[in-house]
Amino acid sequence: MRKQSGYIFAERNRLIPQILDSRPYIRSRQAGGLGSKLMAERVLVTKLGLDGHDRGVKIVARILRDAGYEVIYTGLFQTPETVVAAAIDEDVSAIGVSMLSGAHEAILPMVIGALSDAGADIPVILGGIVPEDDFQTMYDAGVARVLTPGATANEVVEAVRGAIEESRVS
């Protein structure tokens, strides 16, 4: 096994999910008058299908890590089933999916369906090239939030935080 530029490779260069450890970055924050609370939420970020553009998802992973989240990055070319299995195995609070290929209308409903079939209530946040006309379709399919290119670090963190908080209320 060898490490190369932030990824862990095993035999045949198969990508192994890497946990970006957030412990050095965990910060305390005020939690609605309840005093100081450590943010130790776990978020899985992934690339589904044949989309090989991963620069944005790596930036999002760092943004979330720096905000105090523990981030599990599954790597490129994942299937809906492997993402859901990893999310359940890792006991994550949210799933972030980066889609730049335009396949969001076909693939995201499969992720939501696989989560439902597994009985998991994990919010899914979609980021990437998503036409504004598709937002409502994604929300109707069960996506909690949609982020587009140009979203700020604060918008990313607030989208994840909001999706997690809403899933706990419902």
SS3 for 11?
helix
List of residues 6+ apart from 153 with CB closer than 8 A: 63, 67
Q: What is the mean pLDDT of residues 78-85?
A: 97
pTM (2 d.p.):
0.78
User: Bridge partners of 18?
Assistant: 73
Instruction: Tell me the percentage of the chain whose pLDDT exceeds 90.
Output: 75
The answer to whether residue 95 scores a pLDDT higher than 70 is yes
| Domain ranges, ordered by start, for the chain | 2-169
Among 91, 92, 97, which Cα is nearest to 75's?
97
Mean pLDDT of all residues in the chain? 84
Was domain 2-169 assigned CATH 3.40.50.280?
Answer: yes
pLDDT value, residue 27: 39
pLDDT value, residue 170: 76
Between 99 and 6, name the one with better pLDDT: 99
pLDDT value, residue 40: 72
pLDDT in tens, 39-67: 479 999 999 999 899 999 999 999 999 99
The answer to whether residue 85 scores a pLDDT higher than 50 is yes
